[in-house]
Amino acid sequence: MLTLNIDYEVLPDRLVTIKLPEEVRPGRHELVIVLEEQPSQTARATEDKVAKLNDFIKKRYELSLSEPVLDAGDIFTKMAVRHAG
């Protein structure tokens, strides 16, 4: 069994062409395709900004991970989105 991991940008026509390596012999094979959507660059940038803002607030207000902060995730996300623009 051969496993290929391919990072591929799916275009609007959704057509994918794959050239298999030489080690794959001609004949019948079972081909399994698994699609896992990757977060967009915007989503990754927002996640990074949320993490940085989270660290800043913890350091600024000397919060520890064990201290509960009411709706912290929601607050951090809204602040990051507001400052991302």
Task: Pick the closest to residue 3 from 44, 31, 36 (CA basis).
Answer: 31
Rg (CA), the chain: 22
Lowest-confidence range among 7-11, 12-16, 25-29, 43-47? 43-47
pTM: 0.39
DSSP string, 68-83: --TTHHHHHHHHHHHH
Q: What pLDDT, on the 0 to 100 scale, is given for residue 85?
A: 61
CA distance 54 to 68: 13
Q: Cβ of 76: how many Cβ atoms within 10 Å?
A: 19
- Count helices and strands in the chain by DSSP H and E runs: 2, 0
Q: How would residue 84 be classed by pLDDT, with cut points 50, 70 and 90?
A: confident
Ramachandran region, residue 68 (left: φ > 0; alpha: ψ -120 to 50; beta: rest) = beta
Q: What pLDDT, on the 0 to 100 scale, is given for residue 28?
A: 94
The tens digit of pLDDT for each residue in 35-80 reads 888 777 777 777 788 888 877 777 766 655 555 555 667 667 776 7
All structural domains of the chain with their residue ranges: 41-84
